[in-house]
Structure formats: C-alpha cells, structure tokens
Structure 1
Amino acid sequence: MSRFSVFFENIQRDIKTYVFLLLLFCLYRGAFIWIMQSYIEPNTGMTDIALAMWAGFRLSLKSAGVLALLSFLVCTMSNVFVPKLKTTSIRLWLGGLYIAVLSILFQARFPYYNAFHVTFNQNVFNTMNDDVYALFITMIQEYNLPVRLLGALVILYFLYFLFKTLLKSPNYPLPQFTTKTQHLFFRVVVIVMIPIFMLFMRFGGSFNYNHSINWENGAITKSSFLNEAILDDMQALYRAYAVHDRMAQGDQISGIHKEKIREYSKLVAGNNVESDDLTPYLARQAAGAKIAKPRHIFIVIGETYSQWPLMEKFDKLNLANGLKDIIKQDDTAYTQAFLPNASFTAMAVTALVTGLSDVSIPVNYQQRSYEQTYITALAPQMQKLGYKVDFWYGGFPSWERIKDFTLAQGFDHFYSCADFGAEPDNIWGTKDEYIFQALSKHLDEEAPTVHLILTVSNHPPYNLDLDKAGFDAAKIMDGLPEDQKNNKELIRKLGHYWYMDKVVHDFVKETKEKYPDSLFIITGDHSDRVNVTDTPTPYERYTIPLVISGPGITKALLPSDIAGSQVNIMPTLIELLAPKGFTYYSIANSLTKGNQIGFNNDYSITPYAIGKITNPTDYEVFNHGDLSKIEAAQDSSQDKISMMRTLSWWLLVKGNQL
C-alpha cells in the first residue's frame, strides 16, 4: 500500500473513534440528566433540557476532538512514516483507556454532584491536602465505591466491545482516478479538510471566537443543574484545572505581611481593641446620614468604563457624553482619582460584593466564600439598613460562578439574561439595554432595594449593530488622531463604549424621572482594553470614573483631595445614608472622610499621582500642586496598601480568627 493509502485508511478509523467518543459524551450527559432529574428546577421544561443537550453536544465536540487527536498523532501519523507498523492494537488500547477513564468519571460524577451541587471543580485538587485514607473509607461507606467501580467495569466491557466492532467495520477504499491531476486534487482536498475540521471542533461547532462555546459561557439555561450537566467530565476537569491554576498564581503575593496582622488590625481600628477576632478591629461607627434614605440604590459596574473618554483632551470623540451629562448635574459628585480593584471583571465584582482588596486570590473560587459571608460583605450590611439586595448581570450565571458566589455572600436574588428572557447577543450575554429594561420592570414591585448591575456589551467580540443603536461614526472620527481616522476596527470598538454610555445615561435619566428618590453609583470594572493612542499614560490607561448622583448629593460631597478604588464604595455608601452610630465593617475608608489612596494588583493612586506599587518613586503626576503634598501622599501609600492587603488576605485564607 502507498503511504497515502495507509493515511486514508487510518483517518477513517480516527473518524470512527471521534464519532464514538462524541456519542459516548452525549450518552453520559443524557443519562446523568435522567438519573439526577430530581435536581431539575420545577419551572424547567423540555425546551431547557434540549438546549442543554445541544450546548453540551457542542462542548463535547472539543472533548472528543482532543482524544481523537491523540489517536491521530500516535497511530495515523506513525503509520504514515512506518507503513508496515500495525497500529490496530494501539488504537484499541487507547480507545479502551478513554472508555475506562470516562466511565469511572461518569460514576464519580454522581456522588460529587450530591456533595457539592456542581460537577468537577477546583475542589478535586483539595484531595492532595486532605486525609486520603479517610476519603477512601468515606467513598466506600458513603458512596458505594465498590459498586460504582463494578458498574464502571460492566459498562467498560460493553462499550469496548462496541468500539472494537466499530473499528473493525469496513473502510472505504482509496478512490481510483484516471488522471494524475484527479489523484492530486483528491489528496489535496483530504489534507486541507483536516485542519478545517480541527478548527471547527476547536470552536465547538464554529469557525471563530464570536460564535464559540467554552466552559465559561456554556451555561445558557435557567437551570443551575442543567448548566452543570452541559459540561462533560473532560470540560469539568478542565474548568477545575483552570480555576486551580488561577488560584495557584496567588501563592506569592507582594505586600502581604502575615506577621504584622495584629499591628495592622490595631492600626485600622484606630483604638486599643484587644481581641483574637478581627471583627471588632474592623468595626466602624457611621457619622450620621448625609442624605435622605433613597428608595432605590443602583450600583452600575460598566464593562471597561474607562476614565480617559471623560478627559478634556478627548472631548471631540463624543464617547462619554452620557456620563458627562450626569456629572454636570448639581446632584452629582465625581472623582477622577479612582482605580479598579484589579485588571479583570471578576475582581471588580468581588471587591464590591465582599469589600476585600485584590490579593491575587480568586475570591469567587475560595471555599470559604461559600461557607459564610465575609464580615465586610456588602449585602448583609445593606440588609441591616432595611434594603433587599439584588445582582443583575447581562451574561450567564456560570461565568466565574457569579450566581453561586453572590448568593452565598448574602444577595437576595440573582438575575442573568437567562432569567429575564433576553436573547444572548454574543458569547458573553445580552445587550446592556435589555438588562436595564428588565430591571426597570422589576422596580414597580419592590422597595427599598439595592441593585448591583454588571454590564457586558462593551466587550469583545464587539458585534453590536451600532447603526441600529443610532451610532454616528463621523462624530468620533473627528476626534481621532490623523493616523487612526480610517481605523474601522478601532471605531467599532469605541462605538461599543458609546453604546454602553448611552444606555447607562438613558437608564439614569428615566429612573430619576420615575423614582426621584433614587441614588446612583456608576463606575467601571476595569480599563486598559481600548485606547486611541499606542502610548497612553498610566492615568489614561488604568483609571476608571466614580460618579455618585441623587437627591442630597452635591459637588462638595467628595473632597478634592481624595483617591480610592472599588473597596471604598461600600463604606462610602453606608456613610451617606446610615444613621449616626450604625455599626458596619470595612477594611477601607469612606471617600467622604478624605481617603487618599486607591490601588489594585499593580498600581496605586493618590489625589495627585499614579504609579507602580513596586516602584513608588516613579509616578505620573496628573493633579499638579504642592510638591510636598504629592511626595507625602506617595510615602504614606505603601503602608496603607500593605495593611489592607494583609487584612484582605487574612480574611480570605484564615478567616476572622487571629
């Protein structure tokens, strides 16, 4: 046989392997849903189950592809170079190994879900730090390990027989052609189709990122159980690995001084508290309400709501006219010296939900976050003031475990695009306007409430119909540098910022008219995604706005010499509306009290300058004034950063006890 004949025969076996594995993933998914159907929520219908099976099928295209690729490399390619090599037994051995592993994982999935109400997640790595013998005995006594292994062996034997029969089924012979051109054309087509097929599998039944599916955006149903069932065991284990890897990156954290925990605790308390519990050290007494109690409070976290479009030098871009209009109102305060908690959306959310600074540990994946609320958490403290606290997100509830996390941290309700019936606009979620439309309808029923809102539209793949939204590209082009005026890709990205800003502005305006006794806090999750220059300054690149608007708010509310980050929002809110003497807990100061430091994982900001934490003497001055004040603020920032980081780390890793 020619080498191509060997190749053609082998790839047919690879296709059989792929199809078998894909069907196996789907079979196990369907069996899991059927056996565990008691976990399906009452309002779930057959449409949701079908949707879950379809999304799972697309995800399993990837999983089956990875396993079939190994077979292709080990068997097909080696056989091409050594045509006499007999690879049948190797392929059968690999197939048997795949079936064995998947069958064991299938059996393990049931007790795991019973225990954690999720499929495999980062907790699988905790085994290495646990009592392995105790776990083994528990598996025998509590989860019928011998019976489950026996069941896996029976299934393995049956499936291996089917796989072996499939591989031995006849292959199509290599077509014979009358001319060399036809021979060549056929071979080229076969070879070219292989990478195309791989690309199709890589994106889960698509050819690009825009329409792809992965474990982070695969939860597309209203059912938490079905969203977990969408993940096959390979995808679930990959999720566990990805999350564990993120957490492992936080092992070495600068600015954490565990040995100073008592010193820092007393420093933040500002008194002579003596306790082995952090709680009394973090207790603060509200000075007294500065505004009348709002009926509704809206905290808007705009996706990549950067500060730079608000700067005077970028006025001609007309990007942030909505927020500018809000800022110029008499009932609005605004600070420009403000940083996100970190470089990613999840860290912004966790800062507002828990009140903890970023220390390179994914708070939303810490087991402690699901066992109890942090004493600095937003929801429980606002509930003490009589508010119901809800979270609104335009994406899917499985993203960064956002639904589980917010509910575990005390939020009363969680709403995603799946809950308010908005059709997803791209792989991350629905249009921002649909979030606010759903929220506005919801307001008629409830009071008083706090709504933490996370938008999604100003995010890749940037595929909104901007013309339909009323975007005029010409108004932006006038403000672009000459070398960027014809950059359609940049204009399209800036158009998504314009859209988000417009939607936020319209919501604030309409809600103020309908509910004039409402308070609005507007900020961004992070910056640093789109700039109009290749060399933005650190201030242009990293800062985000903080806008507070509503009855009783004045321009003088926030002192001119303040700076902060997202952990300052919660204490600021409480100091605005809590009665005198109200006790709350925070590692950060209220901005109404003259806070002069904000920071994230890399940068710190004072009222005058911004610079890298690791090099405090090298900074960009954006608010020129008394040089001695600038230097004094920089000098004092390091200790404050270490104090807040150490306290945050301790609460995350150790808990309240010292």
Structure 2
Amino acid sequence: MANYWRQVLNWDNFYELLWQAGKLFLFLLFLVCGYRILFIGLMYTYLGLATEGVDIVTALFYGLRLSMKSMGLLTAIGFLVGCIGYLYRPYKGTQFLQITGCIWIVLLTLLFFARIPYYEQFHSGFNQLIFNTFKDDTYALFISLIEEFQLPVRLLGVGIAGFFICRIFLWWQNWGHVWRLPRMSKVNYTICLRVVFICLLYQAILWIRFGGSLSYVGDIDWENAGVTKDQLLNEAILDDVQALYRSYEMDSRLENSTGLAFEPEQIQHYAEALSGKKLNSNNLDDYLKHHAVGLREKPPQHVFLIVSESYANWPLLSKYENLHITDGVKEIINRSDSDYLGSMLPNGMSTISGVMGILTGFADANLYLTHLPEAYREAYPTAIAVNMKKLGYETCFWYAGPNSWERIHDFALAQGFDKFYGRGDYGETEGNVWGCDDEYLYNAVLDGSKNDKMSFNLVLNVSNHSPFTVDLEKAGFDKELVRNALPEEMKNDEDLLKKLGHFWYADKQLAHFVSKAREIYPDSIFIIVGDHADRLNIDKTPNRYERYAIPLIVSGVGIDKNSLPERAAGSHINITATLMELIAPKGFEYYALGESLTRGNVMGINYGFWITPDDIGITEIGPQPYRFNVNAQGEPDMKKINENVEMIRSISWWRSKYGNQLVEKKG
C-alpha cells in the first residue's frame, strides 16, 4: 500500500499523464481542423460567388478558436478517465487516456462522414432537426439512411479511416520522450518551479476555454461565430461537436419555450394591436374572431387542400421553365378559374412544422404541438377542421404514410377532423418507407369522396421525399429533356436528375388528380401549397427567396385571377382565414390568427424568416433582406416587421400552451 501511494503521489508519474493529455489535445485539434479544411474542399460548389480567399482564412481562424473549446472539453474528459486509471494503477493512466482518445477519433470521423450528406440535404451543419429522430418514425429514417445515403458504405469508410487515424494517434502518443520540468538544486526552488508551471497551465486552460481569450470578453461560441458572408463557411466554422451542442441548445429552447414567457397584459396588448380591436377582454379568442365578407352565396360541395411534400416555388419561376418539371401545376395556374401567389413561407423547415401551422393556425413558437398535452384536451378554435365543420363539411385527413408518424392520426382527430386515413387504408400500394406513391393516395381520395356529403379533404403526399424510389421511367419521366436544360457541370449528376424526376412525378400526379376531381366533382375548390422548401435547388448557393419560398395556388368554382391580390404575402397560418373568405357566406363567424390573403395581407412569417411582396429576410438580427421583386419601391419597415413577428409568435405560444384566458399563469 505504501508503495502504491508513493507511485500515485510521484510528480513525474502524474506529469506524464498531463503530457499525454496535452498531446491528445493537439492531435484532436489538428484532426478537426483538417476535417474542416476537407469539408470546405469537398463542398466548394456551395461557396458563394462573392466568397474570397480572405473569407476562407477567416473561417479557418475562427474555426480553430472554436475547436480549441471543443477539443479542450474532449481532452478534459479523456484526462479524467486517465485519472481513474491512474488511481487504479499509475501506469494505467496513459492507457485509459489513449483508449478514450481513440473513441473520440472514431466519433469525430463518424460525424464528419455524416456532415456532408446532412449539409447537402439541409444546407446546414447539424441542427435541431436531428432531435426529430427520437420523435419521428425511426425505422423509416433508418431505411432512408441505408437506401438514400448508403449508410453501410459510409460506416465502412468510417471504420477504415478511424483505424488508420487511431494508429497514427497511438504512434504520436508514444513518440519522443516526456519533457519534464528540470530538478533544481534545492527543494524550495523545485516547488516554486512547479507552482509557476501550475499557474501557466491554469492560464492555458483559460485560453482554451474561451477560444483564444483569457476571459468572457473575447469568448467565442456557436452563436457569434458566423462572421463571414458565406453560409457554407459559417457552418464550417462550427466543428461537429459545436454543431451538436447547437442542436441540443436549440432543441432545449423548443422544449422549454425559452424566451417566450409573457405577462397576460402584454399578450392582450399584442392581440389588440394585431386585430385592431379595443375590447378590454380577458378572452384571447375574442381578438381572433372574424366575420367573412361573403364572396359567394353558398360554399362549394368539396374542398381539397393539397399539402405537397417539398414543393418549392423556385421551379415555377420563368428562369427554370426549360426543366419542365412543373408543367402540370403551371397548367392549373394558367386557367381562368385559378390564382397563384409566390410570396409564401412554410411554417417551419420540416413537414410536421408546416402541417401544424395549417392544422392549428398557429405560428411556430418554440412548442412541439404534437407532443403538447394541451393540444389533445380540446381543439383550438383556430383549427382549420373546426372552422370547416362549422360550415357543414365532413373533415377528412388523407396521409400517404403511416398513422403513427409524429402522432399525426391522434393529433388530427384531436384538432377536429372526423376521419383520418393512412397508408394502411389504401390496400396494396407501391412506395417507400415514408408512404405510398402519390398516385395511390390520390386514387383513394377520389374514391373516398364519392358521396353526397360536403367534404373537406386535407391531402398530404410523400413521394417527393428521400429515399426516392418511384419508377420514373415507367411514370414517363423524360430524363434527357431535363438533363439538357441543366448547366453543363450538372448534366451528369444522376442523383440530381433523380430528385428532379421525383419533383416532376409529384407535379404530374397532383395535376392529374385535380383534373380528375374537376370532372367528378365540378362544384369543388382546390388549394395547393408546399409543406416546405429548402431541400432541392439547382443553384448550390440559392438566394433566400429561391431557397425558402413555397407556392400557394387556389383553383376551382368561384375563383378568378383577382382572388389573391398581387400585394399579398403570407405563410401556412394564413390558409384558414383565406379559405374562409373564399368559400364562407357573408357574416360567417370564424377564428384565425393569420389574416386572410384575400384582404391583401402584406406579410408572412415563420420560425425564422419573414416575407413581403417584395423582400424576404431573417427575423430578429440577421443579414439585410433579399429583394426578389425587381419592381419593388421603397424599403421594408423593419421596425414594424419585427413587431409583427413578435406579436404573432407570442400569441401563438400563449394560446396553444395556456388557452384563451389572459390571466396570470403559474408553473
């Protein structure tokens, strides 16, 4: 025992562990910086045209500073593990540290291999969407990873790369001799030297902790690290550890509604400002009440609201007309009984966020509604199904996928739908793990609507979603026509052609459904909207409008080219009010937070962006708005825009979580 404590308390033994920890830190820092450079090199096509060499150098410098913090944390964990081994047997300390180092190397390599397809899909490093994995259909996600992103091949690559890098790491750890503090002639001098060393070590730890600074004043973190003008470089600055930390932080804010706690008086003030009503009422719903202008004598027999997976607006722009992947919907738009609005935003970056905005009428406000107990106690008065039922419609939700996805079956019924149909209700169908191909879904909707009842049908398709498995050749896709319309450097990109082919397929089946439904049910109205964009672009660095905007098309009996004013913009939360004004009789009472687009609503908002008929920008503090309307005049009123964003999101948060009573809430 005495010999054991002599070894444990031996400065030289402990100093060797410190020395090995320092070498681990340097190796991990070098590795993650190398991965950063490699990431930028592999993804260079995503760099903006205005990006210069100085921007890349700036990104690498800030990335180095940020990674000092990340690798410092991993090293600290490795050192603590080494200390456990050191206490067990002093010579075991370095072995435990080396094993931990190898684990970190493999994990960092795995994250690097995953980052590339993740960025290609979401134009971002890891973000809070990865936490949807635990709330989504994990089996479907796993199959998508295998079929679309070649998971086994990537894991093999991780194993091979990790093996060789670990071999280099172990060589590095065992190379050379331990540099030891010199022993002084007197014990007191030796002690003083060690005290100086410990003080310097403390300063070095602070310098690493604050990313190249010795205090919080110069600290750098994931929230302030995006200093370049290029999106790819700003994401590259965040190593994968920092990106995962960002994901965790953002998801925690969503779960805990961080930053959206308001007093009831403030919510009442916001409700009065948005509605223009001075009611002095403590019932929030009083401010959400509207009365239809009455554009027709009686509602149409059938209403079909089609929420189309990943149907972005950019393929409808004239600059992409040679692709011919949206010819079907363009035919609908060009009809005299149709109108189209291109200045629309989805409610969020995922399908479930968009669907929640449509179903409830609430903006994304840091609440995951399908997992919110309050959403199942009673339907919100702003819910689209609730308002349609008041008009006399039987409300049906038609989904191409399984009933279990995101609890959509239970949530839709809780929010007023009379019936819900999922893939299991359509018989034998072709498709992928996310759901059946669109043609089977649309055929089921056509067959299910053959009765004398007035019906409202919300249709959610999935074919334009990875893994892309539709037999495009059988469906009639002219791949060579699309290939010839692509830029020269993209003509041989078979993966891009497959994605564009699935967009074409979704467009074709949607147009075919609308055409057939018109024949069978002439007294019908159709609303077509994308669930989100930001998945596919021809341009590697699309402008903000082409990246995020979705289309809104209204068509059918009673619709004309003046149904949607030109000076209008909106998001998913405006659909309920717009539909009510298009079909409800004069004086009909309905509830909605978003204004009707028929009244010339000039602004739309979502989780992080806003849009007007002229500009699209980032909420709160962000880059300058992007002007997509070349005929626009004047500048956007940023003060008013930010006020509207805060009011809409605040009311959405309060009403969905606390109900309609504007009284003090505890807990």
> Counterpart in 1 of 2:447?
441
1:507-541 alpha-carbon deviations (Å, 9 max, x no partner): 00111122111100000000010111111111000
Aligned residues of 1:559 and 1:592 also touching (Cα < 8 A):
yes
Shift of 1:253: 5.1
Aligned residues of 2:289 and 2:592 also touching (Cα < 8 A):
yes
Rounded to whole Å, the distance in 2 between the matches of 1:247 and 1:411 is 31
Which range moved further: 611-620 or 281-290?
611-620
> Counterpart in 1 of 2:645?
641
Gap change, CA 1:204 and 1:481, over 3 Å in 2 = closer
Query: Is residue 552 from structure 1 mapped to residue 543 from structure 2 by the alignment?
Result: no
Tell me which of 416, 422, 426 is aligned to 1:420: 426
> Counterpart in 2 of 1:656?
660
Structural mapping, 1:40-55, within 5 Å: none
> Counterpart in 2 of 1:502?
508
Query: Is residue 381 from structure 1 mapped to residue 387 from structure 2 by the alignment?
Result: yes
Query: Is residue 450 from structure 1 mapped to residue 480 from structure 2 by the alignment?
Result: no
Rounded to whole Å, the distance in 2 between the matches of 1:510 and 1:252 is 45
Rounded to whole Å, the distance in 1 between the matches of 2:283 and 2:352 is 28
Q: Which runs of 5+ in 2 are unaligned?
A: 1-91, 93-131, 152-246, 663-667
The percentage of aligned residue pairs carrying the same residue is 40
> Counterpart in 2 of 1:467?
473
Tell me which of 569, 588, 595 is aligned to 1:589: 595
Query: Is residue 615 from structure 1 mapped to residue 621 from structure 2 by the alignment?
Result: yes
Aligned residues of 1:210 and 1:426 also touching (Cα < 8 A):
no
Shift of 1:205: 13
Rounded to whole Å, the distance in 2 between the matches of 1:617 and 1:495 is 34
Which letter maps to 2:446? S
Tell me which of 351, 368, 377 is aligned to 1:345: 351
Gap change, CA 1:243 and 1:382, over 3 Å in 2 = farther
Aligned residues of 1:531 and 1:541 also touching (Cα < 8 A):
yes
Tell me which of 252, 256, 263 is aligned to 1:251: 256
Aligned residues of 1:256 and 1:642 also touching (Cα < 8 A):
no
Gap change, CA 1:207 and 1:384, over 3 Å in 2 = closer
Shift of 1:442: 1.1
> Counterpart in 2 of 1:295?
301
Gap change, CA 1:289 and 1:205, over 3 Å in 2 = closer
Tell me which of 348, 369, 376 is aligned to 2:375: 369
Structural mapping, 1:514-593, within 5 Å: 514-593=520-599
DSSP-derived class of the 1:548 partner: strand
Rounded to whole Å, the distance in 1 between the matches of 2:147 and 2:527 is 37
Shift of 1:643: 1.1
Rounded to whole Å, the distance in 2 between the matches of 1:350 and 1:291 is 31
> Counterpart in 1 of 2:636?
631
> Counterpart in 1 of 2:611?
605
Gap change, CA 1:347 and 1:622, over 3 Å in 2 = same
Which range moved further: 395-404 or 246-255?
246-255
Aligned residues of 1:247 and 1:361 also touching (Cα < 8 A):
no
Gap change, CA 1:396 and 1:424, over 3 Å in 2 = farther
Gap change, CA 1:281 and 1:651, over 3 Å in 2 = same
Aligned residues of 1:291 and 1:576 also touching (Cα < 8 A):
no
Shift of 1:308: 0.4
> Counterpart in 1 of 2:53?
none
Gap change, CA 1:482 and 1:423, over 3 Å in 2 = same
Aligned residues of 2:401 and 2:434 also touching (Cα < 8 A):
yes
Rounded to whole Å, the distance in 2 between the matches of 1:206 and 1:315 is 32
Which letter maps to 2:388? M
Gap change, CA 1:563 and 1:274, over 3 Å in 2 = same
Gap change, CA 1:463 and 1:294, over 3 Å in 2 = same
Which letter maps to 1:251? N
Which letter maps to 2:358? L
Rounded to whole Å, the distance in 2 between the matches of 1:326 and 1:543 is 19
> Counterpart in 1 of 2:342?
336
Q: TM-score scaled to structure 2, two decimals?
A: 0.62
Aligned residues of 1:203 and 1:209 also touching (Cα < 8 A):
no
Between Structure 1 and Structure 2, how many residues are aligned? Answer: 435
Rounded to whole Å, the distance in 1 between the matches of 2:608 and 2:250 is 20
Rounded to whole Å, the distance in 2 between the matches of 1:205 and 1:390 is 29
Rounded to whole Å, the distance in 1 between the matches of 2:367 and 2:572 is 16
Aligned residues of 1:247 and 1:360 also touching (Cα < 8 A):
no
1:98-139 alpha-carbon deviations (Å, 9 max, x no partner): xxxxxxxxxxxxxxxxxxxxxxxx9xx9xxxxxxxxxxxxxx
Gap change, CA 1:278 and 1:316, over 3 Å in 2 = same
Query: Is residue 408 from structure 1 mapped to residue 414 from structure 2 by the alignment?
Result: yes
Q: Please provide the CA RMSD for this pair.
A: 3.1
Gap change, CA 1:552 and 1:204, over 3 Å in 2 = closer
